Amino acid sequence: MSINYSELPFYTAHDSFNEKTKNLRYRKLHRELSSELIAKISTFHVGTFHLCGTNRLMPEFIISDEAKKNLYYPQGFCIMESEADYFTNRSGLESYELRFTLDGQGKLEYEGQTYVLKKGDGFLIDCRRPHLYYTDGDFWNCTILHLDGLQMPYIFRAFASDGDVTFHAESCPNFELLQFQLLKATQKIAPYHEYKLSCLIDILLTEILTTKTLPPHSAGNDVYGDIISYIQEHFAEDLTLDFLVRQFAVSRTNLCREFKRYTGFTFKKYVLTLRINHAKQLLGQTTLSVEETAAESGFHDTAHFVQMFKQTVGVTPLQYRKGVPIQHNTRTD
C-alpha cells in the first residue's frame, strides 16, 4: 500500500551540518522553522554526525507530563532523504527509534551486529545504547519515529530477545499504514487524546513484535503452536523438554526460545501455571481431597503440590477452598 505522507503537516529543511557546525545551522534554520521545533530536533543531534539531505519534520508533539509517566507517547517524526555522506554515531539519547526504509540503502551497527537496510526494512533500537547508522550507497530515504513510554523497555527486550532488532515489510505489511494512522491521530485533539495515541503505538509495536520474523517451521505448520496445544491437553502427564524435542523433531534451543516468545513463560513455569490453575478449579468446584486434586493436576507428591500451590497462590489448597484471602506478595518463579 502506498502511503500519501503529504496529508501530514511538514516543515522542510535542506540540511548539511555536523556536530561542530550545528549551532550555526540552527541560527540559519530560524528563517525556516519555529524556535520550538528547532529546540526539539536539537535534542536528537548528539554524538558525532553528518546530516546531509532533505528533512521533512512534523511539528512538535505536545505531550503532558502525566502521559509521559504512564503511557506510550511519540517524541518526533520526520522523513529523511539522506545523501551519501550521512551518518549518526551516538548514545545516551532518552528515546527509542523506529526507522523504516522507503528507498535506497543504509546500514546500522548496534550491539555488535551490522544490518543492511534496504527498501522495506526497518529497525527498532534503544537510543540510550551506542548506535551508528549511515547511508550505504548514494542515498537512503527513511521514516523516523522517536517514541518512549512506561512499557517501552519491556517491549524492546521482547523485540530484541533473538538478537535481531530489524523487521521487514514482507512479514509486517501493515507497518506503514499503522504508523500513518498514529501520525494522523496526533493532529486530532479530542477527549483522552493521549490515551488514543498510546493505544495506537501499542498496536504498532505489537505488529512489529509479532510479525518481524516467522518461526522456522511456520510454512504451513506452526510446530510451536502445536507444541503449546499439546501441553495444554496433556499438562497433567509427565512432560519434559526432552520428550517434546523428540516428539516434535525440534531443537532444544529453538524450543526454549520460541516457547518464551509464544507464551511469555519458560516451559517449566508454563506447565506449573496450567497445573495450579487446574487445581484451583478442582478445589473450587469439586469435593476431591487435596491428594486427589494433586494427582489430577499432575503432581505425584502431595507435599510438593501443597508447597508449590502456596508459593504460587499465597495460601494452602485447603485455605483456598475455604476462601481464605490470598496473599499477593508471593514468589512466582
What is the mean predicted confidence (pLDDT) over 139-155?
A: 96
Cα 139 to Cα 137: distance, rounded to the nearest angstrom: 6
317 by DSSP, 3-state: which?
Answer: helix
pTM over 0.85: no
Grid cell, residue 315, equals 495460601
Output the domain CATH number for residue 174: 2.60.120.280
Helices (H), 14-135: 22-29, 35-42, 65-70
User: Is residue 69 predicted with pLDDT exceeding 60?
Assistant: yes
26 or 136: which leads in pLDDT:
136
User: Is residue 7 predicted with pLDDT exceeding 80?
Assistant: yes
82 or 332: which leads in pLDDT:
82
User: Is residue 147 predicted with pLDDT exceeding 90?
Assistant: yes
What is the mean predicted confidence (pLDDT) over 45-61?
A: 92
- DSSP 3-state percent helix, strand, coil across the chain (nearest 5): 40, 25, 35
Q: Is residue 201 part of a domain?
A: yes
- Length of the chain counted residue by residue: 333
Output the domain CATH number for residue 250: 1.10.10.60
Q: Is residue 10 part of a domain?
A: yes
Residue where a domain stops, chosen among 211, 234, 269: 211
pLDDT, position 327: 63
N- to C-terminal Cα distance for the chain? 45
pLDDT, position 151: 94
Residue recorded with cell 528507498 = 103
Same domain, yes or no: 233 and 178:
no
pLDDT, position 240: 93
pLDDT, position 148: 97
Same domain, yes or no: 263 and 141:
no
Q: Is residue 330 part of a domain?
A: no
For residue 311, the tally of other CB atoms under 10 A from its CB is: 14
Q: What is the mean pLDDT of the chain?
A: 89
Backbone angles phi, psi at 129, to 5 degrees: -90, 155
Q: Is residue 333 part of a domain?
A: no
User: Is residue 330 predicted with pLDDT exceeding 60?
Assistant: no
Instruction: Kindly report which listed range (39-48, 137-146, 156-165, 305-314) carries the lowest average pLDDT score.
Output: 39-48
Q: Is residue 332 part of a domain?
A: no
In Å, how far are 283, 287, 320, 326 from 323, measured between CA atoms? 10, 14, 5, 8
Same domain, yes or no: 229 and 202:
no
Residue where a domain stops, chosen among 188, 211, 234: 211
- Bridge partners of 140, per DSSP, are 82, 104
Q: Is residue 217 part of a domain?
A: no
pLDDT, position 333: 45
Grid cell, residue 205, equals 509495536
pLDDT, position 59: 87
pLDDT, position 324: 77
Grid cell, residue 229, equals 496445544
Q: How many structural domains comprise the chain?
A: 2
Instruction: Kindly report which listed range (41-50, 206-215, 268-277, 302-311) carries the lowest average pLDDT score.
Output: 206-215
262 or 87: which leads in pLDDT:
87
User: Is residue 36 predicted with pLDDT exceeding 90?
Assistant: no
Q: Is residue 52 part of a domain?
A: yes
CA nearest 2: which of 207, 169, 123?
Answer: 169
Same domain, yes or no: 154 and 121:
yes
CA 88 to chain centre: 23
Characterize 89-125 residue by residue with b for buried, 16 or more Cβ atoms within 10 angstroms of its Cβ, and e for exposed.
bbeebebbbbbbbbebbbbbebeeeebebeebbbbbb
Same domain, yes or no: 205 and 227:
no
- Helices H / strands E in the chain, number of each: 13, 9
Question: Which contiguous run of DSSP H or E holds residue 79?
Answer: strand 72-83
pLDDT, position 189: 81
Same domain, yes or no: 191 and 56:
yes
Cα 316 to Cα 307: distance, rounded to the nearest angstrom: 8
User: Is residue 178 predicted with pLDDT exceeding 80?
Assistant: yes
- Bridge partners of 135, per DSSP, are 106
Residue where a domain stops, chosen among 144, 179, 211: 211
pLDDT digits (tens, 9 = 90+) for 248-260: 999 999 898 888 8
Same domain, yes or no: 166 and 54:
yes
Same domain, yes or no: 144 and 290:
no
Domain range for 112: 5-211
Same domain, yes or no: 112 and 227:
no
Same domain, yes or no: 81 and 159:
yes
User: Is residue 95 predicted with pLDDT exceeding 60?
Assistant: yes
Same domain, yes or no: 173 and 38:
yes
pLDDT, position 227: 92
Same domain, yes or no: 189 and 310:
no
Q: Is residue 216 part of a domain?
A: no
User: Is residue 14 predicted with pLDDT exceeding 90?
Assistant: no
